[in-house]
Amino acid sequence: MILFAMPLAAVAQSDHTNTGLWLSAEAVKKINKQWSLFGGAEYRLQDKFSASDRWNLELGARFKPYKWLKLDAGYKFMRDYNLEETKYKSNGVTPNKVIPAYWDTRHRFYASATGSVKAGDLTFSLRERWQYTYRPSLTVDRYDVDDDEWETKEVRGKASHVLRSRVEAAYAIPHSAVEPYVSAELYNTKGGIDKIRYTLGADFRLSKQHSLGAFYRYIDEKDDANKHVIGLGYKYKF
């Protein structure tokens, strides 16, 4: 766990405000050699672990027609937390509008195909995932600084399509229950590459049914502040 304690300490001491912690749990039910069902939950913290970021529930299915190919599809119900935002006048200094923090709802559908090849104890994989996310419209309160009054603002509904391309290399350490991995994932939209995720992690097999995972992730975003993330997860197979 020293591998993950070092990035965590660096992130906690950084002046970078966009740092987070992602916690997840997943249950997998194997139907037969090819089919399995899964469900999970995730909770995310942001702003140096001081504020909520998102929680979501997920349901899906996996199909493995060949040893080297895995297909999956699923749905996520998400609640996103938007931090307080201050909008400024053209001079960039004088506050104009203040929008308090609020939650919004999102629905996400996705489908993936993952191909893998083994070279000794190393496994290389490529995953292509299409995802569709819809955020319904909602109304939020905001404060008009000039008029010294509150007003209501409509946040219009928004839909987005993203193609996520991930390459990964995992190493099954001989006679060990630990499998470290590295990966890079590109988020492709109509405007080009919006985001890249770089991940260093490891899975820890506790038994045939129970396993833990931990990772450090650096997220390079095109139109937003970059992020440092520590992730911890639990998986149960039955």
> For residue 42, what are its two tokens?
């995730």
Q: With CA atoms as reference, report the closest residue to 200 among 17, 62, 2.
A: 2
pLDDT, residue 233, reads: 98
| Per-residue pLDDT tens digits for 136-179 | 999 999 999 988 999 999 999 999 999 999 999 999 999 999 99
CA distance 93 to 87: 9
20 burial via Cβ count (<10 Å: 0-12, 13-18, 19+): buried
Are the CB atoms for 167 and 141 separated by under 8 Å?
no
Q: Which H/E stretch holds residue 8? A: helix 2-13
Q: Which H/E stretch holds residue 81? A: strand 69-82
DSSP lists the bridge partners of residue 71 as 63, 113
Residues 6+ apart with CB under 8 A from 2: none
> For residue 170, what are its two tokens?
């995992």
Question: pLDDT means per 10 residues in the chain (238 residues)?
Answer: 44 60 98 97 95 97 97 98 92 90 97 98 98 97 92 94 98 96 97 95 97 97 90 97
DSSP lists the bridge partners of residue 184 as 167, 198
pTM above 0.85, yes or no: yes
Q: With CA atoms as reference, report the closest residue to 185 among 161, 168, 203.
A: 168
Q: Which amino acid is at 11?
A: V
